[in-house]
């Protein structure tokens, strides 16, 4: 395999988020899967990861956060 689509520093990416508030890095060249929305990007890999690092502060899934409160 030549290069994994998540590992290419020169490609552009999205930061995706799902209903559970979980984030996923996502290559911009591949269609966004159902059930996910763009939280950031299209942008560099680094910038997308930086967004996720600052936005995803509580890593518990939303359903668990709601049940715990």
Binding site for another protein (CB under 8 A): 1-7, 15-16, 18-20, 22-26, 29-36, 49-50, 52-53, 55-57, 59-61, 63-64, 67-68
Query: What is the largest distance, in Å, between two alpha-carbon atoms of the chain?
Result: 46
Shortest Å distance, C-beta 4 to another protein: 6
Would you call 50 helix, strand, or coil by DSSP?
Answer: helix
Shortest Å distance, C-beta 69 to another protein: 11
**22: Cβ–Cβ under 8 A, 6 or more apart, which residues?**
56, 61
Shortest Å distance, C-beta 10 to another protein: 10
How far is C-alpha 32 from the chain's CA centre? 10
């Amino acid at each position: 395999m030549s290069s994994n689509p998540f590992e290419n520093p020169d490609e552009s990416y999205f930061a995706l988020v799902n209903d559970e508030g979980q984030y996923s890095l996502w290559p911009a060249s591949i269609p966004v899967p159902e059930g996910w929305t763009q939280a950031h990007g299209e942008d560099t890999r680094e910038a997308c990861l930086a967004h996720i690092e600052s936005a995803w502060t509580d890593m518990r899934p939303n359903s668990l956060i709601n049940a715990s409160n």
